[in-house]
């Protein structure tokens, strides 16, 4: 799949088959995450990956809109170090999207789960054993897609504005 096709066809996947993500594919999508652009190239991200069923269950219980995490093969918790930059939200978001696009290109599915400024940030950090000063920016549940759901998108003329 070429990059444009990948960007156009990616959709959030919240239901997964009981099948693994191959180890080398997981490596590839983490590689794509860490190669994301970042302000001043600070690369403030730290990625924490779990396939542990107990941790996935606990994460699914604390993340308000992440109940599907207990069905995912794994979860990548994306954190940023705010002592290195004041741009961790943008930087870690770019990394998250890179990862989700790479997952889609490799035939997997995933969904972003909000992390920044959430009431469950501390719970997620505790479950994962992540320490200060790292801040939670996002989580991504990943796996082999079971469901292909297409939400509606705003049409181009509604959101693209050419300014002469
Ligand atoms: C910043 C951000 C936070 C999100 N948080 C959640 C979430 O907590 N739970 C969830 O199920 N989806 C979450 N999503 C996924 C969106 O619901 C999804 O991207 C949107 O509905 C558009 O659908 P699509 O990804 O299939 O294009 C989030 C997406 C973004 C970018």
pLDDT in tens, 18-53: 999 999 999 999 999 999 999 999 999 999 999 999
Is the CB of 112 within 6 Å of ligand 1? Answer: yes
pLDDT value for 63: 98
Distances (CA, A) of 61 to 2, 56, 96: 36, 9, 21
- Confidence grade of residue 140 (pLDDT, cut at 50, 70, 90): very high
Is the CB of 65 within 6 Å of ligand 1? Answer: yes
> Domain locations in the chain?
17-148
Measured distance CA(144)–CA(19) in Å, rounded: 6
Measure CA of the first residue to CA of the last residue in the chain; give whole Å: 35
pLDDT value for 149: 65
Q: What is the mean pLDDT of the chain?
A: 96
pLDDT value for 122: 98
Is the CB of 16 within 6 Å of ligand 1? Answer: no
Ligand 1 atom closest to the Cα of residue 96 is 31
Asked if CATH classification 3.40.109.10 holds for the domain at 17-148, the reply, yes or no, is: yes
Q: Is the pLDDT of residue 117 over 70?
A: yes
Cβ neighbours for 26, distance < 8 A, ≥ 6 positions apart: 49, 74, 142
Distances (CA, A) of 124 to 71, 118, 121: 17, 10, 5
Looking up tokens 């191959």, which residue turns up? Answer: 22
The string over 49-67, giving b where at least 16 C-beta atoms fall within 10 Å of a residue's C-beta and e elsewhere, is ebeeeebbebbbebbeebe
Q: Kindly report, residue by residue over 68-110, the tens digit of the pLDDT.
A: 999 999 999 999 999 999 999 999 999 999 999 999 999 999 9
Atom 15 in ligand 1: which residue has the minimum CA distance? 112
Atom 1 in ligand 1: which residue has the minimum CA distance? 114
pTM of the model: 0.97
């Amino acid at each position: 799949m070429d990059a444009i096709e990948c960007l156009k066809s990616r959709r959030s996947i919240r239901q997964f088959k009981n099948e693994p993500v191959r180890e080398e594919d997981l490596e590839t999508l983490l590689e794509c995450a860490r190669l994301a652009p970042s302000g001043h190239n600070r690369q403030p991200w730290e990625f924490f990956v779990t396939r542990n069923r107990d941790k996935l269950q606990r994460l699914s219980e604390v993340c308000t809109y992440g109940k599907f995490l207990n069905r995912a093969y794994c979860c990548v918790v994306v954190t940023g170090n705010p002592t290195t930059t004041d741009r961790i939200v943008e930087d870690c978001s770019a990394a998250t999207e890179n990862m989700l696009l790479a997952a889609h290109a490799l035939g997997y599915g995933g969904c972003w789960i909000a992390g920044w400024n959430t009431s469950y940030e501390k719970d997620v950090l505790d479950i994962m054993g992540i320490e200060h000063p790292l801040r939670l920016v996002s989580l991504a549940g990943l796996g082999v897609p079971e469901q292909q759901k297409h939400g509606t998108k705003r049409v181009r003329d509604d959101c693209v504005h050419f300014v002469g």
